[in-house]
């Protein structure tokens, strides 16, 4: 819909949610403490149950059973999340994102300075 003040559809919800999730990865510590690692695990365990698109949540829970979350570093977590997003891209027939670029997209900005 053209109006912005309407309930979020699956696309708007998805875009906003990926922005939040990848930005959490961007601000996750390079060397997280055990508590920080537990926090991210707890967050994703609950997120995968509460995400308000139920087919999406079901598939995401199944993905997390198959590919356990990696929390030992920002690099490991960011790449795990990028792979998880690519699994959804594959399912929806969207282009696969080059995960070597996830930090440029979500943390540092592009190397050509176009985000500065």
Q: List contacts with ligand FAD (CB under 6 A).
A: 10-11, 14-15, 17-18, 22, 51, 55-56, 59-60, 82, 85-86, 88-89, 92, 94, 97, 102, 105
What is the full DSSP assignment across 61-80? HHHHHHS----SSHHHHHHH
Got the DSSP string for 9-28?
-HHHHHHHHHHHHHHHHHTS
CB of 92 to ligand FAD, least distance (A): 6
Between 70 and 97, CB nearer to ligand FAD: 97
CB of 85 to ligand FAD, least distance (A): 3
Closest to ligand FAD by CB, 33 or 84: 84
Closer of 33 and 69 to ligand FAD (Cβ) = 69
Minimum distance between the CB of residue 100 and ligand FAD, rounded to whole angstroms?
11
Closest listed residue to residue 70, CA positions, set 37, 95, 46: 37
| Cβ neighbours for 23, distance < 8 A, ≥ 6 positions apart | 106
For residues 21 and 36, what is the distance between their CA atoms, to the nearest angstrom?
15
Q: How far is the CB of 67 from ligand FAD (least distance, A)?
A: 13
């Amino acid at each position: 819909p053209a109006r912005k003040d309407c309930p979020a559809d699956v696309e708007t919800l998805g875009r906003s949610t990926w922005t939040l999730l990848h930005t959490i990865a961007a601000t996750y510590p390079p060397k997280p403490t055990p508590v920080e690692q537990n926090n991210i695990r707890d967050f994703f365990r609950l997120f995968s149950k509460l995400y308000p698109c139920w087919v999406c949540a079901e598939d995401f829970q199944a993905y997390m059973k198959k590919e356990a979350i990696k929390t030992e570093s920002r690099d490991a977590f960011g790449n795990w999340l990028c792979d998880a997003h690519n699994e959804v891209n594959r399912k929806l027939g969207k282009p696969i994102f080059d995960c070597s670029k996830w930090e440029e997209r979500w943390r540092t900005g592009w190397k050509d300075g176009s985000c500065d």
